[in-house]
Structures are given as C-alpha cells and as structure tokens.
Chain A
Amino acid sequence: QSALTQPPSASGSPGQSVTISCTGSSADVGGYDYVSWYQQHPGKAPKLIISEVNKRPSGVPHRFSGSKSGNTASLTVSGLQAEDEADYYCTSYAGSNNLVFGGGTKLTVL
C-alpha cells in the first residue's frame, strides 16, 4: 500500500484539462513543499515534470502545472495531447530523509 493516495485512473479529451490528486498527511505532503510529479510511458523510465510542488524543470511543457492545498497536491495537465497519455506518480518528502511515492494514476487521452 502506497503512502500517498492517487486515483487509479483519469481521462480527458484532447484540448481539455485534467487534474490528478495526490493525498497524504501532515507528515509528508502537508508538512513540506517538496512534492514532485513524474510521467512514465509504457516500458520507459519515469521523467520528472514537476518539482517542489509547482516548479517546472527546463524543457517541460507549460501545460503541466502543480499545486498544493493542505495534505493534497495536484497535477494539472492543460490542453491535453495524445502524448500525455501515461502513468503519473507523485512523491513527497516525508521527513527524516525519507521519500514516499503515490500509487500512480493512468491518464487516458480519449
């Protein structure tokens, strides 16, 4: 069982926006602004798309954005494209040099 809770699936049509949630506790998501999001296409390694809640590394499209409210972090993908279909994982720093993962969300572009 993952420490962070994500919905198993999400979907949207091309051009639409989709938001994926990542719920933890005050010991992880709620306690630190160190939530990251990773995109993983089938058979590939994860790729960093959001760090420290809402920072987008160089090269990541602007349609990916992150936010946090209380113990829940969110990833929003705006202007969905076919290539955004992938699995998405959140992570959070959990104190004491520990990192926890979410269970992952499969995003389907309809």
Chain B
Amino acid sequence: QVQLQESGPGLVKPSETLSLTCSVSGGYISTYYWGWIRQPAGKGLQWFGRIYASGSTNYNPSLKSRVTMSVDTSKNQVSLTLNSVTAADTAVYYCARFSRDYYFTMDVWGQGTTVTVSS
C-alpha cells in the first residue's frame, strides 16, 4: 500500500524560499500525477498543482508565479518550491497522489507537514 511522507524545514523566514519533499513508499511514482495542497490553521484547503512522473506540470493559476514542482524518479520523490514566502504561507502542506481511476481526484494523502513563516 502506497504511503506518502512530507518533509521540510518547519520554519522559514519571510521573503525566503520554501522547499518541501514528498517521499513515496510502497509503490512507484511513475504513471501517476502527484499534487500539493496546503491548509492554513483553521481554514480550508488550497491546491497548488500537480506533476507527472515525466515532469509535466499543471499549476494553480493563482499561485503559478511562485511555485515550482519537480520529480526525482530515482529517489521516488516529488518536491515543491515556493518562493518569496510571507506569513500567509504558514500552513500544513500535504502531498497527494492523483488517482488513475477517477479524473482529477486525489486518492492517497500524506500526513502533512507544518510550515511556519516567521522571522
């Protein structure tokens, strides 16, 4: 059974770049899309975008200018980079697998990693 584990710095200073990694175990990242979603404390979910194993990406238009996703098939990992962070980027960040059975549906989620933006 595939499992996802997000990892990252925990604390990032304003204006700096946030980098997160999602490690996939129990399965291969090939032939799937992998997405990133965040959730500020007490608030709703926001979709960043998704990346295919080949490196093809689809980004949320509202975040596209600050977001980069990448994939490392040799390590079975996908990554998220968010630049010029502010306090508004403080949130729990999730990675998720997009289903091959249901269109634009996330069927496996990581447990999430908390990121705080503060000086």
Contacts and interface: CB of A to CB of B under 8 A. Distances in A.
Interface of A: 2, 34, 36, 38, 44-48, 51-52, 55, 57, 89, 91, 93, 97-104
A45 B44 contact: no
Interface of B: 37, 44-47, 58, 60-61, 94, 99, 101-107, 109-112
A45 B107 contact: no
Given A45-B111, A98-B61, A34 B44 contact: no
Given A45-B112, A89-B45, A98-B61, A34 B94 contact: no
A36 B102 contact: yes
B102 A89 contact: no
- Specify the main secondary structure of chain A where it touches its partner: strand
Given A93-B104, A99-B104, A101-B45, A45 B109 contact: yes
